[in-house]
A and B are shown apart, each in its own frame.
Chain A
Amino acid sequence: MRFNLEIRKIEGFIRIVLPFFSRQLRSFGRIEAVIDTGSPKTIISAGDAIKLNIPFTNLQSTTPLTGLGKGRTPMLLINKFAFSIRDSDGKPNNFDMPFLVADVPRIRNEGQEKLNNATRIPTLIGMDFLELNSFDLFVSLSKNVAYLEKID
């Protein structure tokens, strides 16, 4: 089963993008995530968390993330984030797995500048996404093709 990815070039920089759909209770909605094989974890960005009204108060705090030049970013954990991605035949497929979510209230407490910077970072698909869902990742920039493949 194949799940096509978008290859997006902005100002000469290439990103591989997965459009998916959050099926979380009271936080349904559309998300675009960037495939980031440098990230061990999948992370819902501050912007998408705000956009989808994720209920921060109900979530458990987890280890903050340390990123290049950004200091530590507080994170929350959703143990079973329900989402759907669409295969190349057009059929939505449902999954759930642990997602980290940017802890927007705590980031806001650290100042507006910090929150402004956090909202520029997209949702990231990390290596745990590939591992936990048994996805293989294929990218050919020369052929302009990228997709996830799942062998059942």
Chain B
Amino acid sequence: MIEQELVKEFDELEIDSRFISNNSSEFSHKYARKFIVIKDQQVIAMGDNFENVLNDIKKKGIDTSRVLIEYIPDKGEIILY
């Protein structure tokens, strides 16, 4: 991958990453305990099971390596690593 393409990838990645941060409050109300898929500042899929969500976006012909997938915890749910 040439640097120009990588810069474009980073532009999109960082915009979508900020989109999640900026809308996290709304997401936690709408999508608690769900996986959401973000691309181009939109929630393009969501569901309870990671692999089902991934299959949904594959069926839509979307490249899974170019999306962000975030698990939205429930209110009061603490995830320790």
Q: Considering the complex of A and B, which 8 residue pairs feature the smallest CB-CB distances, nearest first?
A: A29-B65, A119-B50, A19-B17, A8-B21, A10-B24, A120-B71, A86-B10, A30-B13
Which of A34-42, A55-63, A133-141 participates in binding chain B? A34-42
Task: State the majority secondary structure of interface residues on B.
Answer: helix
CB-CB < 8 A to B27: which residues of A? 10
Mark B residues whose CB is within 8 Å of A: 1, 3, 6-7, 9-10, 12-14, 16-18, 20-21, 24-25, 27-28, 35, 49-51, 54, 64-81
Interface 0/1 of A1-26, CB less than 8 Å to B: 00000111111010001010111000
The closest CB in chain A to the CB of B17 belongs to A19
Interchain CA distance A47-B77 in the complex, whole Å = 19
CB-CB < 8 A to A6: which residues of B? 17-18, 21
